[in-house]
Amino acid sequence: MTMLNKQELTELILKMVPEATFPEGTQLTEVIVPADKLLLLAQGLKSHKDTDFDYLISLTAVDFITNMTMVYHIESVQYRHLIVIKTILTDRVSPVVDSVSSVWITAEFHEREVFDLFGIRFNNHPNMKRLFLEDDYGYPLRKDFRDEINIIER
Amino acid sequence: MNKDMSSKLYDFSTLTGSIHAGLSNMMSPGWVVFTEMILIGVIFLLCFALIGLYLVYLERKVCAIIQNRIGPNRVGKWGLMQTLADFIKLIMKEMIPIRKADHLLFNLAPFIVITSTIMAMAALPLAKGLQAIDFNIGVFYIMAVSSIGVVGILIAGWSSNSKYSLIGAMRSGAQIVSYELSVGLSLLAIVVFSGTMSLSGIIESQANGWWIFKGHIPAFIAFIIFLIASTAEINRGPFDLAEAESELTAGFHTEYSGIKFAFFYLAEYMNMFIVAALGATVFLGGWMPFHVGTWEGFNHIMDFIPPMVWFFSKTLFIILIIMWFKWTFPRLRIDQLLTLEWKFLLPISLVNIVVIAFIVLMHWHF
Amino acid sequence: MSEEIIKDVIVREDEDYIVNMGPQHPSTHGVLRFEVCLKGETIKYVIPHIGYIHRGIEKMCEAITYPQIIHLTDRMDYLSAHMNNEAVCLCVEDALQVEVPERVKYIRTILDELNRLASHQLWWCAFGMDLGALTAFFYGLRDREHILDIFEESFGSRLLHSFNTPGGLMHDVHPNFQNRTKEFIKYFRKKLPEYDQLLTGNVIFQARAKGIGYMNRETAIAYGITGPSGRGSNFACDVRKIAPYSAYDKVEFKEILLDGGDTFARYKVRMAEMWESLKIIEQLVDNIPEGDFTAKMKPIIKLPVGEYFKRVETARGELAVYIVSDGNKTPYRIKFRSPNFSNLFVMNELVAGHKIADLIAISGSLDLVIPDIDR
């Protein structure tokens, strides 16, 4: 089997999650899914024999002021296609999303880092504990984070 | 014949005899013994300090040469005063008292280690007749006395009240107790050859050639086993797991500082000296010059080099081999270490002994 | 803002003998704390605690311009500093669709490989030292000094050069650069067999390394273990082959894949990679084209709105840079996917059942640099 192009990936993903949308004009193939379908899509992409996305390159979050977006870069070792999954979380006060650590084990630690820096909690995470910072430090990478003592704003 | 060949060498017992006679003239027998003990004690402590100092310096220089650098060369000519400077610094350091440690045992441990070392050193013959104690069970005495050092190490690890020290001391104890067997058996090999356990007797029996040559293959095997096992005995070289600084900081002497640490450190080098001297005595002839059978002319020329020089150069040779091991090989893990002893060295030693007994019976040695 | 203390999921029983290795420890190579639970000499589990050198690089980068970010990326995985710089530069150049001159590509690749060699040399000598072969430390450093001298002549600094800049290089390399590199290759080809003589063939070393810390291919992929550690378990993850950048598509070199999966296989992969690096440098150093050392860039670099992603192969694995730009001269969000972060957390699986001495050997073979984990 070979590397799937953007068209074929789009069709396969729409079969798994019909609510997925595909933004145009991006550097890599991106797909935006609603938060409750994320785990479904992740499991589907990993187990489907034509996609076989078994390698999670990077898991991170971005704080756009009105929402928080989770960004997952995944790749297939066998076919070498690369795709970016995004989920938009509208609740900024206590954002919650499903954990994908049951699909890719390395996600367990990336999600701890995201929790540490952004405050996004993950359902069904085996060890939801902060990674770098103390337990009562805020969530530094949020855009509304202020630390009067340690951070000098320009 | 052996007695004839070694009788041409200067016998120190005349010197010691005349000192004894001189003292007996001056005081009563009880005081004579007391004075002699003081004298010998002072001489030994001086030897201990000087040889220890020199060996530390030698190790640093050998290590530097193997590692492609220079080593200490600033304090004194060629850096000879370096160790002295280090010990002055160590003496001036604060001895940090540990609150939860067992104070009596904590302070006792370095002394036990030093005591066992000096006691072992007392039995080594430096030249003909120059020996503090001349037991007829010399080999057995040295083996027994150096085992007391293990007690010191275990006490040090336990009383420090620290996990790292305890782990280090346990490992060290297991290692030393296991390897004592191989050391004993390899020494026993030469005892079977020479028929006596007394160290001066073993040396006399090598007057027509050293046992490593006379005893050909089995004696050589015993020598190799002795080298490996004694490196493990003194916690050195590839067997220095107990003080592996990259794993457990410093093992059983982590909590010691100042002069007490200096004692442990010095004792390690003196142990190396004793083990090397023992190997040189038993396998390489001690102070006996290099004689070959009945070649009178050759032996006569060899006799011109004083026996003390022979003794120290053989010891130095073995010390350099031991140092070479340490700086070349990586470390063994504890289970690999114990496997080496119980599954390889011990069976080989036992078989070796049986073979030697057979050889001695059939006179198949030189 | 305060949060309640979250209970850890690993239950520590009363009879567990817990020993802390670090944060100051001679062999963890950085500030990392291993909480090791022992049963006698055998390890039950190990929990790494990180964050001792967390400097908030990703947050800091949101306040500085793209050329200034280069100076911070140096300090993440400081042993592959050049490759970290290159990742950000390539991402920015791709986003602006700028074509750098050929000369820049060749020089960047040569410097990449020299940096990879220096990093592997330091790994080798630290690995030897951890296992007890203290002489190995000096042999590796002696040879590494030659590379650092070449760097110092061209860039002024030995380790953290910040020589790349979006668009090309800061200035041209020193005129002696080519000759010194050629001399170094000749010198090092004679010295590299010494490394094998000292450690690789040694029986004690092989007993300490073979069969220790076995990781199969599925585990490597699931944990995202890239670089030589992954390639030792037959996981083909070399970014230089998957998505070639700079001059890597012009050179012939092998991707070293071994399927031993244990410490010894990872060791051999790195030793073989050193030979491959020498081959790559040899192919490039004579053919550096003349030309500019930088492309024409605007004085203030602003990326168009959008998201950009780039991967490079550092000495330890795959470094990915993800930039979200909102049109300003500073990035809106920049994320560094560092190889050591993923490599660290497989430790618990690898050491279970082994002894403390094996923990040192395994963490040495994974070749971790802690500032890269914490960022």
Check if B343 contacts C (Cβ < 8 Å).
no
Q: What is the pLDDT of residues C256-305, one digit of tens each?
A: 898 888 899 999 999 999 999 999 999 888 888 888 888 888 888 888 89
Q: What is the DSSP string of A98-137?
A: E--TTT-TTHHHHHHHHHHHH--EEET-TT---SSS-TTS
In a mutagenesis test of the A interface, which of C31, C231, C345 is the best target, namely the one with the most A β-carbons within 10 Å?
C345
Please check whether residue A132 lies inside any domain of the structure: no
Q: Do chains A and C touch (3 or more CB pairs under 8 A)?
A: yes
pLDDT in the model for residue B266 = 85
State how beta strands C168-169 and C164-165 pair. antiparallel
- Count of CA atoms in the C-beta half-sphere (13 A) of B95: 10
Domain total in chain A: 1
Distance CA B103, CA B158 (A): 11
Q: Which residues of B103-127 are buried (b: 16+ CB within 10 A; e: fewer)?
A: eebbebbbebbbebbbbbbbbbbbb
User: Which chain C positions have a beta carbon within 8 Å of A131's beta carbon?
Assistant: 50-51
Closest Cβ–Cβ partner in C19, C41, C204 for B334 = C41
> Is A141–C59 a contact, with Cβ atoms under 8 angstroms apart?
yes
Distance CA C295, CA C297 (A): 6
* Chains contacting C (3+ CB pairs below 8 angstroms): A, B
Is residue B58 classed as helix, strand or coil in its secondary structure?
helix
pLDDT in the model for residue C1 = 32
Q: Show which residues on chain A lie within 8 Å of chain C, measured between beta carbons.
A: 25-28, 54-58, 60, 62-63, 71, 73, 77, 80, 84, 104-106, 108-110, 113, 117, 126-133, 135-136, 138-141, 154
Give yes or no for a contact between B285 and B206, defined as CB atoms under 8 angstroms apart: yes
- Count of CA atoms in the C-beta half-sphere (13 A) of A102: 14
Give A89 to chain C, closest Cα distance, Å.
17
Q: Beta partners for C36?
A: C19, C46
Q: What is the pLDDT along chain B (366 residues), one digit of tens a residue?
A: 444 555 556 677 777 777 777 777 777 777 788 888 888 888 888 888 888 888 989 999 998 998 888 888 888 888 888 888 888 888 888 777 777 777 888 888 888 988 898 888 888 888 776 777 777 888 888 888 888 888 888 888 888 887 777 877 887 888 888 999 899 999 988 888 888 888 888 888 887 778 888 778 888 889 999 999 999 888 888 888 776 654 555 567 777 777 888 888 888 888 899 999 999 888 888 877 777 767 777 777 777 777 888 888 899 999 999 999 888 888 888 788 888 889 999 999 999 999 988 888 888 776
User: Hey, what are B320's tokens?
Assistant: 């350099």
Closest Cβ–Cβ partner in C236, C308, C320 for A58 = C320
Nearest to A15 by CA among A24, A4, A27: A4
User: Which chain A positions have a beta carbon within 8 Å of C1's beta carbon?
Assistant: 136, 138-139
- Which 3-state string (H, E, C) describes B234-252? CCCHHHCHHHCHHHHCCHH
Is residue A88 classed as helix, strand or coil in its secondary structure?
strand
Report which secondary-structure segment, H or E, holds C197. Answer: none
Tell me, rounded to whole angstroms, the distance of Cα B342 from its chain centroid: 23
B27 secondary structure, DSSP code: S
Is residue B12 classed as helix, strand or coil in its secondary structure?
coil
Please check whether residue A131 lies inside any domain of the structure: no
Give yes or no for a contact between C297 and C303, defined as CB atoms under 8 angstroms apart: no
Please check whether residue A130 lies inside any domain of the structure: no
Burial bucket for residue C207 (CB in 10 Å: 0-12, 13-18, 19+): middle
pLDDT in the model for residue A48 = 83
Is residue A85 classed as helix, strand or coil in its secondary structure?
strand
pLDDT in the model for residue C172 = 85
Nearest to C276 by CA among C301, C248, C304, C295: C248
pLDDT in the model for residue C12 = 64
Average pLDDT, consecutive stretches of 10 residues, N- to C-terminus, chain A (154 residues): 76 84 84 88 85 88 88 88 89 86 89 89 86 84 82 71
Give A151 to chain C, closest Cα distance, Å.
10
Q: Domain of A51: which CATH number?
A: 3.30.460.80
pLDDT in the model for residue C363 = 87
Please check whether residue A31 lies inside any domain of the structure: yes
Is residue A92 classed as helix, strand or coil in its secondary structure?
coil
CATH superfamily of C55-374: Cytochrome-c3 Hydrogenase, chain B (1.10.645.10)
User: Which chain B positions have a beta carbon within 8 Å of C138's beta carbon?
Assistant: 67-69
pLDDT in the model for residue B336 = 86
- Residue whose pair of structure tokens reads 């000098």 in the numeric block: A152
Distance CA A10, CA C195 (A): 51
Stretches where chain C sits below pLDDT 50 are 1-7
CB atoms within 10 A of CB A11: 10
pLDDT in the model for residue C123 = 92
Interhelix angle B29-66/B103-122, rounded to 10 degrees, is 100
Domain, as residue range, for A40: 6-94
Closest Cβ–Cβ partner in C9, C236, C324 for A127 = C9
Is residue C43 classed as helix, strand or coil in its secondary structure?
strand
Q: Delimit the domains of chain C by residue range.
A: 55-374
> Is B164–C131 a contact, with Cβ atoms under 8 angstroms apart?
no
Note the helical H segments in chain C: 57-61, 66-73, 81-96, 102-131, 134-155, 177-195, 203-209, 217-223, 227-231, 239-242, 263-285, 339-344, 347-351, 356-366, 370-374
User: Which chain A positions have a beta carbon within 8 Å of C63's beta carbon?
Assistant: 154
Q: What is the pLDDT of residues B164-213, one digit of tens each?
A: 778 778 878 888 889 998 999 999 888 888 888 888 888 888 877 788 88
User: Which chain C positions have a beta carbon within 8 Å of B248's beta carbon?
Assistant: 356
Distance CA A62, CA A65 (A): 9
